[in-house]
Amino acid sequence: MKILVVEDHAPLRGSLAKGLREAGFAVDLAADGEEGLWHALEEDYDAIVLDLMLPKLDGLSVLERLRAKGKQSHVLILTAKDAVRDRVRGLEAGADDYLVKPFAFEELLARIRALVRRRYAAKSPAVRVGDLEIDRAAQRVRRGGRDIELTAKEYALLELLALRAGEIVRRVEIWSHLYEFAEEPSSNLLEVYVAQLRRKLEAGGEPRMIHTRRGVGYSLEAMS
């Protein structure tokens, strides 16, 4: 899952990036409104964390321009402005959620995950595909009652495929959701992750779930 954080306070921006990356998200960062808007228009983020008082272009203007361009990315406003009128303005401008600084990082994480679930129309944090169970709140994966330990990137890859189970997910989409703006795409690296994931999912002799669609991408399916 890929998140954009638009925050002008460098220490907060850094901490958010670190915490979100460790939680399995790919994170792009922007330090002002103009840069944030550019990223948001260029990429298809699963969620955008947006400060309101930003240099160059304020957060509300970023949000309004984003919506005017038809971008439907879920936006969580993260701001020090706590007055009711500010919340109302933010939500009316097209925000999906609003969190006032200072906040508990766990709460921010929970809200971002809720926004991502909304994107994939999943009401429950648990995803089940055949005998594969993914608890997205705890980031735990089980297959046939067996716990599977995954790295952050492996988990992110599996979660994306599971949320779109039965569909072919294109390689470029996987890249854009798993990797950050500055990282160079490498097909080889993706295949390495897929191989590792397959090995862990099939360690108990279970049938293959991740299928390669040559020249297109991958799909997650429970074969009967």
C-alpha–C-alpha distance, residues 44 and 73, integer Å: 7
Site for another protein in 107-136 (CB under 8 A): 108
C-alpha–C-alpha distance, residues 224 and 135, integer Å: 23
Total residues interacting with another protein, rule: CB under 8 A:
30
Which member of 70, 102, 145, 205 binds another protein (CB under 8 A)? 102
Q: How far is the CB of 106 from another protein (least distance, A)?
A: 7
- 101 interacts with another protein by CB under 8 A: yes
Could you tell me where the beta strands, DSSP code E, fall in the chain? Answer: 2-6, 26-30, 47-50, 74-79, 97-100, 126-129, 132-135, 140-143, 146-148, 169-170, 210-213, 217-220
Cβ nearer to another protein, comparing 65 with 81: 81
**Beta partners for residue 146, in sequence order:** 143
The binding track of 62-91 with respect to another protein, each residue x by CB under 8 A or -, is: ----------------xxxxxx--------
Measured distance between the N- and C-terminal CA atoms of the chain, rounded to whole angstroms: 28
Which member of 92, 103, 167, 172 binds another protein (CB under 8 A)? 103
Sheet of 169-170: strand order equals: 169-170, 217-220, 210-213
Cis peptide before 185, with omega less than 30 degrees from 0? no
Return the range that interacts with another protein (CB under 8 A); candidates 9-17, 60-68, 146-154, 203-211.
Answer: 9-17
For residue 82, give both structure tokens: 């706590």
Q: How far is the CB of 164 from another protein (least distance, A)?
A: 28
Q: How far is the CB of 22 from another protein (least distance, A)?
A: 7
Q: Which residues bind another protein (CB under 8 A)?
A: 8-12, 14-16, 18-19, 22, 31-32, 53, 55-56, 78-83, 100-106, 108
